[in-house]
Amino acid sequence: MLDIETLAAEPRAVVIQIAALVWESGNLILPESKPEKLEDLSFPTFSMLPNAAYQRNRVIDPSTITFWMGMPDLYKRLTTNPSPPQHCLQLFSEWYKEHKPEYCLCYGATFDHVVVQSLYDDLRMKNPIHYRDQLDMRTMIRQSQVKCPELPTWLESHNALHDCIRQAIWTEEIFKLAKS
């Protein structure tokens, strides 16, 4: 599962957070309360904050800034102590190759994968996610008509790692239906 947070809603958006998780179907075990550290989760996770200042020629949309200003505490957490984007993508690539997911899900087909690919292209780096392995959840949701299940209350919207967890929970429900 891959999720990003950005400063625009288009393919060349500045990325402020990239997160991912890998789990085996049926083994997504979540704590009842928010974990203190990522390592406390029962599945491998990745979350980094790319520094927007290093993302030249990428887009910042004023309406997206207005959106983030409605959540100042979260925005501050997502933009404090960022790392250079090259460093973030290098670490993500290493993490992805180490965990070797069979495929990479995003909520939609035309945003997260597209933005991440364009950032890799801008930095002249190779994306570890092959295009044939890029799947989208929105299609699965529409086809299965599975409603979002009850979620842990500690999950925070627009935190990329929490969004990955939320989407993984929903995907588990879809997988259960497919197996029945």
- What dihedral angle (degrees, nearest 10) is formed by the CA atoms of 35, 37, 42, 47? 110
Confidence of residue 146 (pLDDT cuts 50, 70, 90): very high
The full set of domains in the chain, from first to last, is 2-24+38-179 (3.30.420.10)
- Record the pTM: 0.92
Rounded to 5°, angle at Cα 171 from 67 and 45: 70
Instruction: Please tell me the predicted confidence (pLDDT) of residue 38.
Output: 66
Question: What residues contact residue 28 under an 8 Å CB cut-off, 6+ apart?
Answer: 42, 43, 168, 169, 172
Q: What is the pLDDT of residues 72-93, one digit of tens each?
A: 999 999 998 899 999 999 999 9
Q: Using CB atoms within 10 Å of the CB of residue 63, give its burial: 0 to 12 exposed, 13 to 18 middle, 19+ buried.
A: exposed
For residue 137, what are its two tokens? 């959840």
Across 134-159, average pLDDT? 91
Who wins on pLDDT, 179 or 67?
Answer: 67
Give the bridge partners for 19, in sequence order: 3, 47
Confidence of residue 40 (pLDDT cuts 50, 70, 90): low
Across 164-176, average pLDDT? 90
Instruction: Please tell me the predicted confidence (pLDDT) of residue 53.
Output: 87
